[in-house]
Structure 1
Amino acid sequence: MLPRLTTTPAATTVFTMVLTQGPVSRVEIAKRTGLSSAAVTKAARPFIEKGYLQELEATERTAPGAGRPASPLAIMPDREFFIGVKITDDELIGVVTDLRAQPLLSLHRPLATTDVDGVVAELTALVAELLAADPAYTERCHSLGLAVSGDVDKAHGLVRYSPFLGWRQVPLAKLATAATGLTVTIENDVKSLTVAEQWFGEGVGASSFALVTVGVGIGCGLVVNGHVVAGSHGVAGEIGHIPVESEGPECHCGGRGCVEAIAGTGPLVSAARAAAGAPEMTIDTAIDAAHEGDPAVREVFARAGHAIGLAMAAMANLIGPERIIVTGDMRGLAAYDLFEEQINQSFAAQAFGAAADCRLLLRPRSFEQWARGAAAVAIQTLFTF
């Protein structure tokens, strides 16, 4: 097991800035963070000595005509490797990444069962296969991140409830650690993707943003003042369970009229089947029917867009993010053009004041990117105070 290197908030601040925004000079780090130059040097030294940071050749002076040129600090991306795995109800998607969460290898492994023991066994085999691909991975990979849908207690390594897996109170981190020998971090899949966007994607440089996922479920990750918001019970951002129709359909959570009960893939397909009188309809054929102009099916997608737009506006009114990144699984996003207009209209109508100026960014993400999010959480956990 690799010991955590960071022991102070200053070290976390310096390392994180170089990791997410580097190469960057000590002078620039001091300017952006308010730390003294001495504090920056002290914080960076252990990372340089351990091979996580390097000093590049000097490229700029601290000021015109002043002193010696500044030497930017940069990450040594191959110093440590990480495995991230996205667990779905029918397959495992695994990636090996470097220290900047750049995927180097990806593998898919089908699941014949969602039984916990069966999933852990397949996970163990997947991890072994990923590590065996390169001797450097075996030598310098000590951390495994797992992304799971549902209610996840990251601090205790517990999947409290995953409706799509049928799990309750599963000590997944403990089981995976015992099976793989790696340090395991688990997190909700949407929050994992949010961490990847915060450190390595569209969220870099934004103090507050939201990530909304559209697909089997409707999820949301929140970053406020630079921190991913989990809430005291770990379920902050669950906009899929905001009620938007008082007489709407029942949701698997026990509520009624939730966004997810209207716009999630399963409920949407059920509504499309009823509207079209086509009991064999799938999400793919529903999308095709809507694209071909079937008015009843198009109305189902419009209703879903209205629900998502209302939920996004409620979130924007409460949090006031700089931007909202809309993503999800590829099937969900294949339908995005069918409810994009309704999302935008409902969001604009319901958002209060300047909240309506929040930028909406559509960014498709493959399941490999969700697995990358799990690796990003492992990176963040290892290198933060």
Structure 2
Amino acid sequence: MLSSPGIETFPAHTPAASQIFTTLLCHGPLTRAETARRAGLSPPAITKAVRPLIEAGYLVEDTDEEARSALGRPANPVRVEGARALFIGIKVTGDEIIGVLADLCCRIRIARHVRFTSSGPRAVLASTAALVQELLTEADGFGVRVQGVGVAVSGDVDRAGGVVRYSPFLEWRDIPLAEVVGMATGLPVTVDNDVRALTVAEQWFGAGAGLSDFALVTVGAGIGCGLVVHGRVVSGAHGVAGEIGHLSVDPAGPLCHCGNRGCVEAIAADSALVRGVRDTTGIQVADAAQALELAHRGDPGARDVYARAGAAIGRAIGTVANLLGSERVIISGEGLAAYHLFADQIRAAFAASAFGTAARCDVKTRPLSFEEWARGAAATAIQSFIGSDA
């Protein structure tokens, strides 16, 4: 076990203080009055929460003697001091680990990629610990401590317990990931589903900033969905909220690895596209890249497979809009490389599925690299550090 890197306790001891800090993190710099309006709190509550955070260096007041109200109260903007603390974010894929060193504002300072040949828990955890150690060494050059690690993994993840219950792509079951990584690194560890982690980053800093209700749909190796309802990322009672990849949109469709037929993932995930292109064209494409290339060349069978995938995704997005009334649905993931092949079908199926004013939901694409997914993992570590769950 590595020596403890000097973990601090964040000086915000109430939910209101965490809410104020999160408001400044997402929308700052803001004056105290602006912060009070955005957070829905009284000016005295803002003053009480801000003072210890400024004293501890987590917030900075940009002083300007001329920026005062007629009553002489300070009207200086307050902002988060990003350089005050560092966090590590780890995204585990099917064949590599992406690690980032991020500051308190979740800006990526350093990024590293490590490939592995075995997805077995022991090998991946050893590589993860080594990567964290490498990033801790890099952090020494910034002169501040790393205060936590976030790890993002696909599948059914129990964040509260720090356990990966089931990750189909890694073939992991009941791995106490937070405990193991924490023992290996000496740091507090937050483990979450990778799409939910990315949703946190999009809520704070991305295409969901300022929205109280939105969904993030990811397309690629799997079909994932992160949900924000009334300003909070939804996990559900059992931690699997948002699994639109396992909505059955065609009961007579292909068998899904979950055991059901016609799931969105069984029609539109990368492996499903490869299988569909092989079956439809008779051409034994090796992977998603070759399937995409065949469709790009205009093969009608391959293009039809992508069209069916777009229709399945569009119906799923329509279901989300109908159930939750989301203001926006953000589509991301590595599968966006094929977006132009199924964009029309997504829009048509969404329009046909959305009921009434749910059709007003803004459907927006947002390409994001895997480093951004690791940044999402770092955002969950920041969440845990500041005591925020939204």
Residues 275 and 3 (structure 1 numbering): CA distance in 2 closer, same or farther, change over 3 Å? same
After TM superposition, give the deviation of residue 265 of structure 1 in Å: 0.4
Query: Which residue identity lines up with residue 128 of structure 1 in the other structure?
Result: Q
Identical pairs, percent: 53
Alignment of 1:111-122 (within 5 A): 111-122=116-127
CA offsets, 1:230-271, max 9 Å, x none?
Answer: 000000000000000011111111111100011010011011
Q: TM-score, normalised by structure 1?
A: 0.96
Number of matched pairs: 382
Alignment of 1:1-385 (within 5 A): 1-58=7-64, 65-68=70-73, 70-136=75-141, 139-329=144-334, 332-385=335-388
* 1:62 Cα deviation after fit: 6.7
2:4 corresponds in structure 1 to none
Deviation at 1:282, TM superposition (A): 2.3
Distance between the aligned counterparts of 1:211 and 1:382, measured in 2?
Answer: 24
> TM-score normalised to the size of structure 2?
0.95
Rounded Cα–Cα distance in structure 1 between residues aligned with 2:37 and 2:288? 51
Contact 2:249 2:262 in 1 (8 A): yes
Structure 2 counterpart SS, 1:364: coil
- Cα distance in structure 2, aligned partners of 1:55 and 1:381: 24
SS of the residue corresponding to residue 296 of structure 1 reads: helix
**What secondary structure does 2:164 align onto?**
strand
Q: CA RMSD of the aligned region, Å?
A: 1.5
Change (3 A) 1:59 1:108: farther
State the SS of the aligned residue for 2:72: strand
Contact persistence 1:301–1:339 (CA under 8 A):
yes
Query: What do residues 44-88 of structure 1 show as CA deviations (whole Å, max 9, x unaligned)?
Result: 11211111001102388576x553550111111010000001001
What's the CA shift string for 1:110-137, capped at 9, x where partnerless? 1121111111110111111112124145
SS at match of 2:89: strand
Which segment is superposed worse, 166-175 or 284-293? 284-293
Q: Determine helix, strand or coil for the equivalent of 1:133.
A: helix
The farther-off stretch of 364-373 and 130-139 is 130-139
Asked if the contact 2:118–2:124 (Cα under 8 Å) also holds between the matched residues in 1, the reply is yes
Distance between the aligned counterparts of 1:190 and 1:373, measured in 2? Answer: 9
Separation in 2, partners of 1:102, 1:182: 20
Equivalent pair of 2:217/2:225 in contact (CA under 8 Å)? yes
Residue ranges of structure 2 left out of the alignment (5+ in a row): 1-6
**In structure 1, C-alpha distance between the alignment counterparts of 2:216 and 2:263, rounded to whole Å:** 18
Q: Structure 1's 60 and 170: CA in aligned 2 closer, same or farther, altered over 3 A? A: farther
CA distance, structure 1, for counterparts of residue 338 and residue 112 of structure 2:
26
Structure 1, unpaired ranges of 5+: none
Which one-letter code corresponds to 2:374 in the other structure?
A
Q: Tell me, what secondary structure is at the counterpart of 2:273?
A: helix
Go from structure 1 to structure 2 and tell me whether the alpha carbon gap of 1:266 and 1:27 turns closer, same or farther (over 3 Å shift): same
- How many Å apart are 1:31 and its aligned residue? 2.3
Inter-CA distance 78–273: structure 2 relative to 1 (3 Å threshold): same
Work out the CA distance in 1 between the residues paired with 2:152 and 2:53. Answer: 28
Displacement of 1:94 in angstroms is: 0.4
